[in-house]
């Protein structure tokens, strides 16, 4: 490619390139826009732009009403005939909206209440309207357990019990106490934090270490000797005769085992009913076991809650008078228990509270 | 668009891991602290559960995810948060030593109500009554506890509990709904029947109720808060059914003398009759003697109008008539149980309990002290309740008995003879009315005596007066519940024989038919059997019974047979137990002799 010929920069072409025609183009744009939109708005006076409509100055609402008031010709024709009922095209809105109904109800309630008395309270279950509850998904609150809230003490816990029932209850109380004692005695002993004994002096420690070392060495020697024997065995030679013999023996063994398998199989086939019976029996046993377990679980739930936290529920001791405390007089009844503890334990027993072991300090 | 249920990465989709969360997870989820969470759970009635698989370990407490979601939507949660922020404001004002602002803020603290929750947990009134046991026991307990700063138990709350419990008792005794009373070591058990629901509650003995260290009273107080509002709504409803204004206005003088229950019953009497008692505002300021005269006068009026004492107030009777139609048999019995008796309580007797029990069974009571309806020297008093080894001055016109007599009478539903309950004696054992002796198999001696007395009381009403006494002395007869007379028994025995004979005949015929089926015809056999039967009917009947048992056991399905055997084993065990108790008793008797 040859070089482009150099031309002089002076001349018409260069001139045109350097003059901007933007302002002219802007003017043309503007003028065309104005022409299209109907005149220059900035130049127009206010009167030209806005004018106040005074002729039919009706509010929107009235306008709509006016529109409603107009009677269609078809309707007017029908109106002339007294036997024809007009069916209105649009339903008039009911004046009582939901809100007003609710308000009215409340007002009525208020009035009722005011008539009855001047208290702040309202009858919660006065209107047995179920509508409110139907929307509630948790309509039925399940009780956490089947244990009743207030368990009545057995007859032996009476302040003046019969001798027999009292003895019964005493026996139970004693059994409870003894159980605690036995648990302490028979349970595993806690690991002691310190062991008493003499301190080992330096010479003895040295001897101890020596003993350990000698044992280790002996072990090492044994290992070495075994390894040697194994190495010797691997190098033993096998002749063809021996190999054949071995193969024959292997084949024989295989044949025997096959025969045995066959026998076993045939035996199993013949004893199929027996096996089926056994399976059935096992199933039944399992089923029984499962049932027993569920029943046992339910029984346990009757006397104590499920394990809900870190600690197990511990039943409170039976509240029964000792034989010497039985006076037969209400006045001399020994004050031995607070009901607060009983309530607290009952809450724990019913699984409402999580049993805890924390005992507060004063 | 985001998926409907966004599940974070690593979160389980199903199984116990997804269905349960631990308590700390729940706390994080709800953004509350432990105290608030506990509070919410108690108020809302949400309890921990035991999942089948405890994913996080055995030492955690688990809650169901839906329970927690339920808590999350509780408006009360938001309210509690509001209260918390408000408390911060107060704290800030205090820290800036702006006492005035702090006081102002404290006066406008936001409060919350529990009525919506009560409605939610107990959709109907019956539901609420069904779950009232715990509520009543707790309120009665806190009514006797001492107010304590350390446990944050204010005097106001104790008084409120006292008021609520008295209102409840007043209603029960007014409607005569009380059925059983049992005094145990723990306290006094009451059972009432309201709208077909048996409500049992326990009230503590007034002696020595203290705060113990092993009880978290904060938790109990939260429960109490809920129960207080529940009981007040229930009382409101109950009082309105009686046409009595609910927060009752009490005679301040009686209230000051700690006779709230009496004041309440008077209030109910008055207002159910349409005459509202004006609260005496200036009871203490006006002259005391005049005041007393006035109250005594009005009291006399009221006593006159009491339907149990004087059926003169016709207007009241008319008003009451329609109510009495609704009453069941038992209520009527309870209403007129102590009808013509007048009681006077000594100082050392548990007054609160007896003031509740005696009017509940239609008795009239007074006590030693000011404000009592009648004095000790009233001639018409029939029973004087006393719990001392000896009474000082004794009136001949009345009987002096120990308080246990009342409880035993009420439980037995007969007026027991008072000799055993006299002053200074050790009364007979107080039996539990909650124990079913028949089911237990063992009947204590005293229960048997009471039964005999009951039978005697019933026999008086029966048109056979001659047989009744014999009946009592015959021990064999007592086996048949002591109700049947001898003649009736004989008739029954004959009937039984006839029935057995007929049965025998029927069986023989059946056998014959069977034999015919086997083409072995034996004739005249049935005649012989019938003849022999006439001679030894009882024996044959017994044999027949045993045979029948064996036959029915054979014909039962295996399941039923097993069940039957289990029942028999259970019965045997029970018998053994009874035997053991009897043996012990005989031993005891031997030792005592």
Of the pLDDT bands very low, low, confident and very high (cuts 50, 70, 90), residue B457 is confident
Of the pLDDT bands very low, low, confident and very high (cuts 50, 70, 90), residue A105 is low
In this structure, are residues B161 and B143 in contact, taking their beta carbons and an 8 Å threshold? yes
- pLDDT number for residue B407: 93
Judgement on whether residues B263 and B204 belong to the same structural domain of the protein: yes
A38 or A320: which leads in pLDDT: A320
- pLDDT number for residue A210: 63
CATH number of the domain encompassing residue B436: 3.40.50.10190
Judgement on whether residues B267 and B195 belong to the same structural domain of the protein: yes
Of the pLDDT bands very low, low, confident and very high (cuts 50, 70, 90), residue A335 is confident
Nearest CB to B209 within list A144, A328, A338? A338
Distance separating alpha carbons of residues A346 and A357, to the nearest angstrom: 15
A140 or B192: which leads in pLDDT: B192
Asked whether residue B324 is domain-assigned, the answer is no
B314 or A140: which leads in pLDDT: A140
Burial class (CB in 10 A: 0-12, 13-18, 19+), A99: exposed
- pLDDT number for residue B303: 44
Mean pLDDT along residues B362-390: 86
Mean pLDDT along residues B554-582: 88
| B179: Cβ contacts below 8 Å, ≥ 6 apart | B191, B192, B193, B198, B330, B334
Residue A159 has pLDDT above 70, yes or no: yes
Judgement on whether residues B369 and B446 belong to the same structural domain of the protein: yes
The proportion of chain A whose per-residue pLDDT surpasses 90, expressed as a percent, equals: 24
Residues A128-139: pLDDT tens digits? 555 444 445 555
Test B245 with A333 for CB contact under 8 angstroms: no
Residue A221 has pLDDT above 90, yes or no: no
Judgement on whether residues B353 and B420 belong to the same structural domain of the protein: yes
B485 or A309: which leads in pLDDT: A309
Residue B510 has pLDDT above 90, yes or no: no
Residue among B180, B438, B589, B186 nearest A162 (CA): B589
Mean pLDDT along residues B481-500: 57
Distance separating alpha carbons of residues B19 and B31, to the nearest angstrom: 19
Residue A106 has pLDDT above 60, yes or no: no
Nearest CB to B183 within list A136, A330, A343? A330
- pLDDT number for residue A228: 54
Test B388 with A331 for CB contact under 8 angstroms: yes
Judgement on whether residues B144 and B234 belong to the same structural domain of the protein: yes
* CA-based nearest distance B493→chain A, Å: 35
Best residue in A156, A319, A322, A339 for a mutation probing chain B (most B CBs within 10 Å): A339
Identify the top-confidence range among A229-243, B32-46, B529-543: B32-46
- pLDDT number for residue B309: 36
Query: A 121-160 residues with CB below 8 A of B?
Result: 121-126, 128, 130, 132-133, 136, 138-139, 141, 144, 148-150, 152-155, 157-160
Q: Lowest-pLDDT range, A287-291, A345-349, B433-437, B463-467?
A: B463-467
B67 or A98: which leads in pLDDT: B67
Judgement on whether residues B562 and B531 belong to the same structural domain of the protein: no
Asked whether residue B315 is domain-assigned, the answer is no
Judgement on whether residues B469 and B350 belong to the same structural domain of the protein: yes
> Can you tell me which residue has the tokens 């019953």?
B265
Distance separating alpha carbons of residues B45 and B535, to the nearest angstrom: 71
Total residue count of chain A as it appears in this document: 362
- pLDDT number for residue B508: 73
Asked whether residue B266 is domain-assigned, the answer is yes
Asked whether residue B445 is domain-assigned, the answer is yes
Asked whether residue B67 is domain-assigned, the answer is yes
* CA-based nearest distance B465→chain A, Å: 33
Asked whether residue B450 is domain-assigned, the answer is yes
- pLDDT number for residue A104: 53
Q: Lowest-pLDDT range, A273-287, A301-315, A343-357, B529-543?
A: B529-543
Distance separating alpha carbons of residues B159 and B142, to the nearest angstrom: 9
- pLDDT number for residue B245: 84
- pLDDT number for residue B199: 94
B76 or A111: which leads in pLDDT: B76
Cβ neighbour number for residue B243 with a 10 Å cutoff: 13
Mean pLDDT along residues B521-539: 46
Helix B155-175 vs helix B132-144: angle between axes, to the nearest 10 degrees?
A: 130
In this structure, are residues B264 and A135 in contact, taking their beta carbons and an 8 Å threshold? no
Judgement on whether residues B381 and B461 belong to the same structural domain of the protein: yes
Judgement on whether residues B148 and B241 belong to the same structural domain of the protein: yes
DSSP string of B8-72? -TT---SSHHHHEEEHHHHHHHHT--HHHHHHHHHHHT---B--SS-TT-TTS-EEEHHHHHHHH
Q: Lowest-pLDDT range, A141-150, A279-288, B38-47?
A: A141-150
Test A158 with B219 for CB contact under 8 angstroms: no
Test A138 with B145 for CB contact under 8 angstroms: no
| Domain edge (last residue) among B478, B501, B517 | B478
Find residue B192's DSSP bridge partners.
B178, B199
pTM score of the predicted model: 0.65
Give me the number of domains chain B comprises: 6
Query: B 171-210 residues with CB below 8 A of A?
Result: 182-187, 189, 200-202, 204-205, 207-210
Nearest CB to A343 within list B58, B207, B220? B220
Asked whether residue B141 is domain-assigned, the answer is yes
Residue A28 has pLDDT above 90, yes or no: yes
- pLDDT number for residue B308: 39
The proportion of chain A whose per-residue pLDDT surpasses 70, expressed as a percent, equals: 71
- pLDDT number for residue B475: 41
B86 close to A (CB below 8 A) = no
Query: Strand B178-183 relative to strand B187-194: parallel, antiparallel, unpaired?
Result: antiparallel
Test B184 with A121 for CB contact under 8 angstroms: no
- State which residues form the domain around B104: 80-112
A44 or A232: which leads in pLDDT: A44
Asked whether residue B325 is domain-assigned, the answer is no
Instruction: Enumerate the residues of chain B whose CB falls inside 8 A of the CB of residue A321.
Output: 185
Q: Lowest-pLDDT range, A95-104, A343-352, B189-198, B414-423?
A: A95-104
Judgement on whether residues B472 and B367 belong to the same structural domain of the protein: yes
Judgement on whether residues B141 and B86 belong to the same structural domain of the protein: no
Test A164 with B442 for CB contact under 8 angstroms: yes
Both tokens assigned to B378: 């009233």
Query: How far apart, in Å, do the first and last CA atoms of chain B sit?
Result: 92
Residue B222 has pLDDT above 80, yes or no: yes
Residue A286 has pLDDT above 50, yes or no: yes
Judgement on whether residues B383 and B459 belong to the same structural domain of the protein: yes
Residue B543 has pLDDT above 80, yes or no: no
């Amino acid at each position: 490619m040859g070089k482009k010929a150099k031309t002089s920069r002076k001349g018409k072409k260069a001139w045109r390139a350097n003059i901007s025609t933007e302002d002219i183009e802007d003017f043309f744009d503007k003028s065309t826009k104005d022409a299209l939109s109907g005149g220059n708005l900035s130049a127009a006076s206010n009167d030209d732009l806005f004018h106040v409509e005074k002729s039919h100055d009706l509010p929107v609402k009235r306008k709509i009403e006016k529109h409603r008031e107009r009677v269609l010709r078809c309707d007017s024709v029908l109106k002339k005939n007294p036997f024809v009922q007009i069916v209105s095209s649009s339903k008039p809105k009911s004046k009582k909206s939901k809100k007003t109904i609710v308000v009215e109800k409340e007002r009525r309630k208020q009035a009722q209440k005011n008539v009855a008395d001047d208290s702040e309270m309202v009858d919660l279950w006065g209107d047995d309207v179920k509508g409110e509850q139907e929307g509630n998904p948790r309509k039925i609150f399940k009780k956490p357990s089947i244990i009743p809230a207030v368990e009545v003490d057995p007859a032996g816990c009476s302040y003046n019990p019969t001798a027999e029932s009292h003895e019964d209850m005493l026996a139970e109380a004693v059994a409870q106490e003894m159980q605690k004692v036995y648990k302490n005695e028979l349970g595993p002993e806690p690991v002691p934090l310190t062991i008493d004994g003499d301190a080992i002096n330096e010479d003895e420690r040295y001897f101890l270490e020596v003993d350990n070392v000698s044992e280790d060495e002996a072990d090492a020697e044994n290992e070495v000797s075994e390894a040697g024997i194994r190495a010797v065995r691997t190098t033993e030679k096998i002749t063809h005769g021996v190999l054949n013999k071995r193969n024959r023996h292997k084949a024989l063994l295989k044949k025997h085992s096959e025969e045995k398998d066959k026998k076993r199989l045939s035996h199993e086939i013949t004893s199929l009913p027996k096996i089926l019976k056994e399976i059935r029996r096992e199933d039944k046993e399992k089923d029984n076991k499962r049932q027993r377990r569920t029943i046992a679980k339910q029984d346990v739930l009757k006397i104590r809650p499920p394990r809900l936290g870190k600690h197990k529920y511990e039943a409170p001791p039976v509240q029964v008078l000792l034989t010497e405390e039985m006076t037969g007089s209400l006045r001399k009844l020994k004050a031995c228990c607070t009901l607060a503890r009983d309530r607290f334990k009952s809450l724990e027993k019913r699984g409402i509270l999580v049993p805890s072991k924390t005992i507060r300090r004063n | 668009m985001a998926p409907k249920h966004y599940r974070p990465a690593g979160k389980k989709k199903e199984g116990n891991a997804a269905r349960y969360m631990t308590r700390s997870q729940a706390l994080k989820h709800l953004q509350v602290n432990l105290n608030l969470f506990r509070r919410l759970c108690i108020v809302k009635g949400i309890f921990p559960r035991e999942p089948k698989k405890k994913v996080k370990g055995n030492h955690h407490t688990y809650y169901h995810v839906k329970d927690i979601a339920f808590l999350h939507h509780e408006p009360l949660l938001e309210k509690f948060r509001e209260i918390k922020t408000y408390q911060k404001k107060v704290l800030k004002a205090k820290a800036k030593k702006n006492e005035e602002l702090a006081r102002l803020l404290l006066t406008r603290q936001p409060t919350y109500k529990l009525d919506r929750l009560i409605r939610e947990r107990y959709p109907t009134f019956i539901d609420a009554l069904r779950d009232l046991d715990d509520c009543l026991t707790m309120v009665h307990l806190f009514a006797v506890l001492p107010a304590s700063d350390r446990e944050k138990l204010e005097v106001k709350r104790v008084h409120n509990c006292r008021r609520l419990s008295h209102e409840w008792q007043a209603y029960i005794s007014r409607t005569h709904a009380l059925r059983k009373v049992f005094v145990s070591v723990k306290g006094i058990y009451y059972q009432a029947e309201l709208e077909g629901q048996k409500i049992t509650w326990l009230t503590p003995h007034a002696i020595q109720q203290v705060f113990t260290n092993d009880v978290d009273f904060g938790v109990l107080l939260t429960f109490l808060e809920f129960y207080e509002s529940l009981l007040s709504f229930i009382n409101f409803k109950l009082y309105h059914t009686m046409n009595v204004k609910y927060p009752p206005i009490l005679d301040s003088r009686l209230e000051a003398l700690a006779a709230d229950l009496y004041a309440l019953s008077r209030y109910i009497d008055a207002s159910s009759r349409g005459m509202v008692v004006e609260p005496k505002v200036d009871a203490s300021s006006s002259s005391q003697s005049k005041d007393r005269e006035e109250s005594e006068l009005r009291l006399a009026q009221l006593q006159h109008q009491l339907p149990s004492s004087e059926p003169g107030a016709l207007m009241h009777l008319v008003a009451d008539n329609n109510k009495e139609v609704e009453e069941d048999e038992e209520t009527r019995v309870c209403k007129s149980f102590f009808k013509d008796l007048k009681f006077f309580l000594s100082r050392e007797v548990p007054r609160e309990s007896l003031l509740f029990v005696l009017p509940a069974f239609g008795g009239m009571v007074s006590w030693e002290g000011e404000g009592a309806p009648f004095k000790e020297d009233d001639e018409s008093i029939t029973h004087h309740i006393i719990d001392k080894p000896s009474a000082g001055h004794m009136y001949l016109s009345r009987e002096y008995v120990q308080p246990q007599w009342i409880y035993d009478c009420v439980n037995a539903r007969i007026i027991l003879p008072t000799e055993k309950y006299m002053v200074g004696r050790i009364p007979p054992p107080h039996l539990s009315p909650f124990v079913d002796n028949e089911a237990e198999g063992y009947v204590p001696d005293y229960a048997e005596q009471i039964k005999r007395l009951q039978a005697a009381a019933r026999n008086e009403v029966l048109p056979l007066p001659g047989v009744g006494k014999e009946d009592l002395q015959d021990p064999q007869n007592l086996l048949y519940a002591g109700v049947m007379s001898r003649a009736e028994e004989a008739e029954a025995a004959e009937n039984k024989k006839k029935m057995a004979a007929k049965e025998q005949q029927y069986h023989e015929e059946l056998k014959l038919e069977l034999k015919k089926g086997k083409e072995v015809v034996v004739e005249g056999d049935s005649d012989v059997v019938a003849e022999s039967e006439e001679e030894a009917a009882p024996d044959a009947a017994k044999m027949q019974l045993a045979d029948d048992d064996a036959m029915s056991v054979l014909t039962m399905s295996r399941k039923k047979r097993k069940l039957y055997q289990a029942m028999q084993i259970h019965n045997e065990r029970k018998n053994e137990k009874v035997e053991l108790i009897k043996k012990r008793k005989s031993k005891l008797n031997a030792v005592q002799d």
